[in-house]
Amino acid sequence: MSPPRFFLDQTLSPGARFSLPAGPARHAARALRLAAGDAVTLFNGRGGEYTASVERIARDEVAVTITGFADVERESCLQITLAQGISSGERMDYTLQKAAELGVTAIQPIAAKRSVVRLAAERAAKRVGHWQGVVASACEQCGRNRLPPIAAPMPLAQWLGARGDERLLFLSPFAQTRLADLAAPAGRDVLIAGPEGGFEADEIAALHAAGAVPIRLGPRVLRTETAALAALAAMQTLWGDF
C-alpha cells in the first residue's frame, strides 16, 4: 500500500524536520492512526514529491523528517482550463474535485446569470479558499504533485474579453459537433460548462462571438456536476493519457 500523501503549502527540502500543520496532523493521527516510523509522502504543489518518515506522534502533533525527493510528475499531456459555471454547494465541490483528478491545468469559476450561488467579494474569496482545499485533497488522492490554480470568479462576458488564442469549447445540448469531430488540440483548450439551467441566450451569443465551438455530449442532457467531467474524460480518451 502506498504511503499516505499530504499537501503542505510551504517550502520542503530533504533533511528538514518539522510538525505537520493541524489539519494534516489530525488526519494522520486520528483517521490514519499513523505511528512513529511510518512513511508518508509530502508535496507542496510546485512539482515533485518528498519521502518522509514520522518521527513522533503526541496527541494531534505529528513530527516528520523529510528523507528524500523524487522529481516525478503525473500531469496530463493535455493543457485544459475548465471554465465552470458556479453551481451550488456540493455540486461545485464534486465537479472541481473530479476535474482535478481528470488532469485539468487550471480552473476558472464563471458567475453565470443562472448560477444559484451569488458571491460578493469577501464571500467569493472564502469560497475560492474552500475550493482550493477541495482540489488539494483531490491531488493528495490521485497522485498529482501540481495543484491546478483556481482563479477568482468572473462574469462570463468579462472573462471572455480577456481571452487569448486558446481553443474555446462550450457544452451545449443543442450543438451538432461532437468532441470526436474535432482535431487534436495544438495548444491549450478551454472547456466551458454552464451552471444549473445552462447559460442565458445573451451568454450563448457572447460565446459564439468569441469563437467558442459548441459541443454536444450525445443525445442526453447531463447535469451541471457531470457534464464537464464527462467531457474531460472523453478528451483524455481521444487525445490524452487514457
User: Measuring CA to CA, which residue among 157, 142, 63 is closest to residue 101?
Assistant: 142
What's the pLDDT tens digit per position in 196-211? Answer: 989 999 999 999 999 9
Number of neighbouring beta carbons within 10 Å of residue 142: 15
Whether residue 80 contacts residue 235, with contact meaning beta carbons closer than 8 Å, is answered with: yes
At 120 the pLDDT is 66
Task: Give the distance from CA 133 to its chain's centroid.
Answer: 10
**pTM for the full model?**
0.93
What's the pLDDT tens digit per position in 26-77? Answer: 999 999 999 999 999 999 999 999 999 999 998 889 999 999 999 999 999 9
At 68 the pLDDT is 98
75-114 burial string, b = 16+ CB within 10 Å, else e? ebebbbbbbbbbbeeebbbbbbbbbbbbbbbbbbbbbbbb
DSSP track, 144-185: -SBPPPBPPPB-HHHHHTT--SPEEEEE-TT----GGGSPPP
Quick one: residue 47, left, alpha or beta (phi over 0 = left, psi -120 to 50 = alpha)? left
What's the pLDDT tens digit per position in 74-88? Answer: 999 999 999 999 998
